């Protein structure tokens, strides 16, 4: 007897990606435009290198920096010993916004969310025993990036390395500070001037350095979608490129040393598609809008960090799994370097043990998962390719809308980016509160837990020590030499001269981070955002 098959359709609630793309039950059609694309060639959808990770792993660059320079130096050496292949430096809030440890504005913040670097002496201690000509360093610093790069160059010289030997990156992306992070100092115009000066100086004097890492990470963490992250980041990239061209630089002289920084959340397929689309659209912009000829100019090179916002204080060991999934997405998406967050970062800066687990996560993916054996493991996925098409279409719409507003700076002034991010962040929060967005251990499968005592705690005495060291520095340096260096720098700031040589001269005279920033404050003023509703 043949049983009658029940063909009645079951009503299923529609599934959506984080960017609100409808997910079909099954995908049976592929976009033909991806079939003949190869890696290492324009438009680089499948990756910027022909062999990708078959030839060499991505740089495993764990973010470190807390307390004072000595503690940070110890963490750097520990992570290098455990197999980390690049350094990544976090700075405390006073360093980020140009205040010395003894400034009233710095009280209670010294060494708390990163390392306190008050002068070139601190930078020398942070890299003691680490040859700067043989490592690649990334510095997450924006408003004071020119000062910190100056310190790094001086330290390199003191170790016997010329500036041409130095390799690394300064984040130096001020536009996303106005949009999402707020560690700005000066108004947009002089801030863009400082960035242009750094790019020009590095092109001539520090050719292996990436002077700017254009960042979507912080906008994503603030609440934007994958599509918005790519669109807003590329809009900012256009603004930086135009600034350099307006200074008289040729596109192929500096574009190969531009880099990017993206977030990787847990929406696995959408994140992989996002990275592919970012490479493709950037290549088209550089080729068609800016007429770049050098193939290296067309390559979107990016660092990835797993999502800190996705980590939970509840059941923190679950974060190890979240980070592992995000790591796979970043690697399959073709990142050039990667930081994996630690399990306890929703509670405090990571302990040494937690940082080691985060690094081991990358190493397991690299050596054991097999995803590096082929250049583009998800090639031919119907679902992935349709996601790429949808993201690409939406990114171009946003870019045209931002161009119509007048570009990134005008869009920032009008509150466009901020409003878009705020609306999506509100949507995500409502979904989590209603239980429509499940967060394991928070709104589902929750437990009553005891608070962990194994957290990294920054000793408040570090602030006292830093103030004392600063007092000693000011009394022991040649203050006449310092005053001349700062005076020359101020005069140059009032002209169109490139400021980097003057900042380096001030660093060599042992000017403090606050003194350099305050000199620029006198000329440029401080930025006060308008309220946008």
Query: ω before 385 within 30° of 0 (cis)?
Result: no
**Tens of pLDDT, residues 261-285:** 999 999 999 999 999 999 999 999 9
Q: For residue 20, what pLDDT band results from cuts at 50, 70 and 90?
A: confident
Q: Comparing C-alpha atoms, which of 54, 45, 118 is closest to residue 384?
A: 45
Confidence band for 533, pLDDT divided at 50, 70 and 90: very low
pLDDT at residue 409, as a whole number: 94
Quote the DSSP letter at residue 162. Answer: -
pLDDT at 481: 97
Q: What share of the chain is helix, strand, coil (3-state, %, to 5)?
A: 50, 10, 40
SS3 assignment, position 390: helix
Tell me the C-alpha distance between 342 and 215, whole Å. Answer: 21
Q: Does residue 34 surpass a pLDDT of 80?
A: no
Give me the residue spans of the domains in the chain. 34-434
What is the 8-class DSSP label of residue 132?
T
CATH superfamily of 34-434: Methylmalonyl-CoA mutase (3.20.20.240)
Are residues 42 and 283 in contact, defined by beta-carbon separation less than 8 angstroms? yes
Per-residue H/E/C for 312-357: CCCCCCHHHHHHHHHHHHHHHCCCCEEECCCCCCCCCCCCHHHHHH
pLDDT score for 455: 82
118, 510 Cβ separation under 8 angstroms: no
Q: What 3 state SS string does 268-308 have?
A: HHHHHHHHHHHHHHHHHHHHHHCCCCCHHHHCCCEEEEECC
**Tens digits of per-residue pLDDT, 380-422?**
999 999 999 999 999 999 999 999 999 999 999 999 999 999 9
Distance of alpha carbon 52 from the chain centroid: 21
Confidence of residue 115 (pLDDT cuts 50, 70, 90): very high
Q: What is the mean pLDDT of the chain?
A: 93
How many Å is the Cα radius of gyration of the chain?
24
Query: What would the pLDDT profile of 43-77 be if each residue is shown by its tens digit?
Result: 999 999 999 999 999 999 877 888 899 999 999 99
Place of tokens 């570009």: 407
For Cα atoms 385, 391, 397, give the angle at the middle one, nearest 5 degrees. Answer: 140
pLDDT tens, 305-329?
Answer: 999 999 999 999 999 999 999 999 9
Confidence at 4, pLDDT banded by 50, 70, 90: low
CA angle at 196 for the pair 191 and 198, rounded to the nearest 5°: 100
CA–CA dist 284, 119 (Å, integer) = 42
CA distance 148 to 166: 14
d(CA 57, CA 24): 34
- Name the residue among 507, 519, 490 with its Cα closest to residue 147: 507
Q: Read out DSSP for 227-245? A: HHHHHHHHHHHHHHHHHHH
**CB count in 10 Å sphere of residue 166:** 24
Digit-coded pLDDT (tens) for 443-488? 999 988 766 668 878 778 899 999 999 999 999 999 999 999 999 9
28 token code pair? 């049976």
More confident residue, 141 or 66: 141
Segment of 23-32, 72-81, 162-171 carrying the highest mean pLDDT:
162-171
């Amino acid at each position: 007897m043949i049983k009658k098959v029940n063909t009645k359709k079951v009503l299923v609630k529609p599934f959506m990606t984080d960017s609100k793309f409808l997910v079909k039950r099954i995908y049976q059609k592929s976009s033909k435009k991806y079939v003949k694309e190869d890696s290492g060639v324009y438009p680089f959808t499948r990756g910027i290198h022909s062999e990708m990770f078959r030839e060499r792993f991505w740089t495993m660059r764990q973010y470190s920096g807390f307390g004072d320079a000595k503690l940070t130096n110890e963490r750097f050496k520990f992570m290098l010993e455990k197999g980390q292949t690049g350094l990544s430096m976090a700075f405390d809030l006073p360093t980020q916004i140009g205040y010395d440890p003894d400034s009233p504005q710095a009280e209670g913040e010294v060494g708390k969310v990163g390392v306190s670097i008050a002068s070139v002496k601190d930078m020398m201690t942070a890299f003691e025993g680490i040859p700067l000509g043989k490592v690649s360093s990334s510095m997450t610093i924006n408003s004071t990036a020119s000062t910190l790069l100056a310190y790094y160059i001086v330290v390199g010289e003191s170790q016997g390395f010329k500036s041409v030997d130095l390799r690394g990156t300064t984040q130096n992306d001020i536009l996303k500070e106005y949009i999402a992070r707020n560690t700005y100092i000066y108004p947009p115009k002089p801030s863009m001037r400082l960035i242009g000066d750094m790019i020009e100086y590095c092109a001539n004097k520090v050719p292996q350095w990436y002077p700017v890492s254009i960042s979507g990470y912080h906008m994503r963490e603030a609440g934007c979608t994958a599509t918005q992250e790519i669109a807003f980041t590329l809009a900012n990239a256009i603004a930086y490129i135009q600034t350099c061209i307006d200074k008289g630089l040729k596109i192929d002289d500096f574009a190969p040393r531009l880099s990017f920084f993206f977030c990787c959340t847990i929406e696995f397929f959408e994140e992989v598609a996002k990275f592919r689309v970012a490479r493709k659209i950037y290549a088209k912009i550089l080729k068609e809008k800016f007429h770049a000829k050098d193939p290296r100019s067309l390559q979107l090179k990016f660092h990835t960090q797993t999502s800190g916002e996705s980590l939970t204080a509840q059941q923190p060991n679950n974060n190890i799994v979240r980070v592992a999934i995000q790591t796979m997405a970043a690697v399959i998406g073709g990142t050039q370097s990667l930081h994996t967050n630690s399990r306890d970062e929703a509670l405090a800066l990571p302990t040494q043990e937690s940082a080691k687990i985060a690094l081991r996560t990358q190493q397991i993916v690299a050596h054991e998962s097999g995803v590096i054996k082929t250049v583009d493991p998800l090639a031919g996925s119907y679902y992935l390719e349709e996601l790429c098409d949808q993201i690409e279409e939406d990114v171009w719409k946003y870019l045209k809308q931002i161009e119509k507003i007048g570009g990134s700076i005008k869009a920032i002034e009008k509150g466009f980016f901020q409003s878009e991010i705020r609306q999506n962040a509100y949507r995500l929060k409502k979904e989590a509160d209603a239980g429509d967005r499940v967060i394991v251990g928070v709104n589902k499968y929750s437990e009553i837990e005891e608070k962990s005592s194994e957290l990294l705690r920054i000793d408040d005495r570090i602030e006292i020590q830093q103030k004392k060291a600063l007092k000693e520095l000011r009394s022991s340096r040649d203050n006449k030499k310092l005053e001349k260096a700062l005076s020359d720098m101020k005069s140059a700031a009032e002209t169109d001269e490139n400021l980097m040589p003057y900042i380096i001269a001030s660093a060599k005279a042992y000017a403090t981070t606050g003194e350099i920033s305050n000199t620029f404050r006198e000329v440029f003023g401080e930025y006060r955002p308008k309220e946008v509703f």
